[in-house]
């Protein structure tokens, strides 16, 4: 197992600055038209999403002719379109786009079926959890890259696997349980098991040396990402994801983000961010801090495995596992 670190000095294609802070107003101000729900963001900037997608493809040495699929693209087909422009065989899967509401009661339980072609991208409608269902039109496919661009987790309510869509699925699947939305540990655990299942099943659909990449929802088209005070929550999620890749047989895991030192320097001039900076810089403190919304607990074994990776990043923008 090999860990690859990409930070601001070695090719991280995401923004390397923190948001501006006005200490007199004690509130965050956001740059460049970014979503007011995100710390950073590519808010409605399809071109910037495409540029970053192509840089990430280069980072992981993804060659033309490979088969890629973007999961949960929503209104952001830019990732799949960028792959197609790189001469990849590009697919997209989304549970909402093209959904036959007369046939399916819930978008959470839809075996993949062909929707349409757009700019060379083969669009499928369906939920990622049902991609191996006997009725899924994608069940026999093998891919070189699964991408979850902002669809894996979010810092607030949105249609992410670790957000509302994940909750909807569990509430429907376990109607006999009193999950007492939303502050219920069993709900959080079941949502985490659902995410672990997705990693396991998508890993089984990869070609040799294929991989899965998860990009922070801070760079999703509609924002809904993690605000600065939520960055410790996001970092734990990304670290757990990397360890889960290893647990499922990944040969190497890439962590892409900002170094602890850079995050510390960017936050140290603002008294309201000092505690956050310290939490992001120390893994022991990180796993002792308050968990976020929908976030499941961590076993001691998982925490120790994550600490053993010794990831020197304070902020994590993306995680890639090569299998």
Quick one: pLDDT at residue 221?
77
Could you tell me the residue ranges of all domains in the chain? 2-322
Cα(227)–Cα(19) distance, rounded to whole angstroms? 10
Quick one: pLDDT at residue 45?
85
Quick one: pLDDT at residue 33?
38
Quick one: pLDDT at residue 44?
78
pLDDT in tens, the chain (323 residues): 899 999 999 999 998 876 554 444 444 444 433 444 455 678 778 999 999 999 999 999 999 999 999 999 988 899 999 999 999 999 999 999 999 999 998 899 999 999 999 999 999 999 999 999 999 999 999 999 999 999 999 887 678 999 999 999 999 999 989 887 667 999 999 999 999 999 999 999 999 999 999 999 988 877 567 888 889 999 999 999 999 999 999 999 999 999 999 999 988 877 778 999 999 999 999 999 999 989 999 999 999 999 999 999 999 999 999 99
pTM over 0.75: yes
Q: Which CATH class is domain 2-322?
A: alpha beta
Quick one: pLDDT at residue 272?
79
Number of CB atoms found within 10 A of residue 47's CB: 10
């Amino acid at each position: 197992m090999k860990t690859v670190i990409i930070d601001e000095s070695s090719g991280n294609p995401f923004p390397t600055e923190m948001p501006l802070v006005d200490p007199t107003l004690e509130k965050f101000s956001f740059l460049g038209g970014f979503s007011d729900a995100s710390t950073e963001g590519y808010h409605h900037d399809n071109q910037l999403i495409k540029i970053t997608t192509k840089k990430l493809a280069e980072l992981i040495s993804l060659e033309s002719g490979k088969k890629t699929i973007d999961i949960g693209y929503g209104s952001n087909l830019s990732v799949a379109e960028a792959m197609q422009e790189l001469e990849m065989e590009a697919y997209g899967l989304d549970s909402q786009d093209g959904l036959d509401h007369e046939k399916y009661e819930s978008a959470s339980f839809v075996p993949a079926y062909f929707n349409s072609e757009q700019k060379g991208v083969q669009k499928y409608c369906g939920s990622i959890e049902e991609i191996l269902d006997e009725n899924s039109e994608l069940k026999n496919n093998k891919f070189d890259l699964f991408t979850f661009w902002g669809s894996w987790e979010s810092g607030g309510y949105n249609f992410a696997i670790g957000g509302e869509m994940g909750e909807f699925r569990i509430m429907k699947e376990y109607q006999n349980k009193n999950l007492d939305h939303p502050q219920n540990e069993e709900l959080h655990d079941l949502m985490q098991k659902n995410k672990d299942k997705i990693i396991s099943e998508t890993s089984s659909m990869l070609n040799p040396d294929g991989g899965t990449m998860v990009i922070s929802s801070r760079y999703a088209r509609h924002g809904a990402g993690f605000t600065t005070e939520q960055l410790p929550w996001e970092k734990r999620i990304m670290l757990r994801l990397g360890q889960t890749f290893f647990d499922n047989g990944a040969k190497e895991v890439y962590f892409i983000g900002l170094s602890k030192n850079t995050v510390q320097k960017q936050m140290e001039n603002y008294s309201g961010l000092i505690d956050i900076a310290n939490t992001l810089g120390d893994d022991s403190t990180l796993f002792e801090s308050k968990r976020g919304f929908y976030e499941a607990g961590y076993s001691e074994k998982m925490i120790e495995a994550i600490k053993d990776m010794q990831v020197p990043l304070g902020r994590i923008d993306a995680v890639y596992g090569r299998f």
